Amino acid sequence: MMININEKIKALFIYEMLGKPAEHIKTALEEFVNKIGENKGISIISRKIHEPKPVEEKSAEDNKELFTTFAEAEFSIDDLNILFNIVLHTLPSHVEILEPDELKLRNFELSSVLSELALRLHRYDEIAKAAMLERNTLIGKIKELQSNQVILTTKTGQAEAKKQETEKTAKKKKEKIEKKKAKKRRRND
């Protein structure tokens, strides 16, 4: 069966979620799937939200008490443009087109879908570049702070050493004075 781009498509989507507590991620995933079904041109045929399970790999402290779950959602979608929009905006972990067996596209329709894909990829690229720039700036600031800390530590260490030396000298002078006073008192006695 061949379909025109503007005919309905039946597709199965799988969405995964990680978080805590277990009840929250199940509810959040269910709400997420429901919101997709509320969009124009999309209707939910069936959905199954699986029970959350604890993350087994506990090598990192952050993974402690984390849960994972997934949803299988079958949608009826009005056209291929909407299908691409769902994929680009909701980022499922898996998509399977159940019906039709074949899709027939016109150049203009395919160009529209590809333009939307290119636009979305440019946005992701822009975000990634901005994040890398911010990361590099933060690394530079951290290195500067570490450098300043070493200088400060060195200066503080020198100041502390000088202070201790001064205190030692003052203590020795005080002890000398005390000895002289003690000698004078013995002589006077």
Looking at per-residue pLDDT, the higher value among 186 and 126 belongs to 126
Helix H or strand E encompassing 34: helix 22-38
Q: What is the pLDDT of residues 120-156, one digit of tens each?
A: 888 888 999 999 999 999 998 888 877 766 666 666 6
Stretch among 16-20, 73-77, 104-108 having the lowest mean pLDDT: 104-108
What whole-number distance in Å separates Cα of residue 19 and Cα of residue 181?
76
Q: Token digits for 114?
A: 């590809």
Banded pLDDT at 60 (limits 50, 70, 90): low
CB 52, CB 63: distance < 8 Å? no
Which residues, other chains included, contact 82 with Cβ-Cβ below 8 Å and sequence gap of 6+? Answer: 39, 41, 42
Banded pLDDT at 110 (limits 50, 70, 90): confident
Over 60: is that where the pLDDT of 1 sits? no
For domain 2-105, the CATH architecture is 2-Layer Sandwich (3.30)
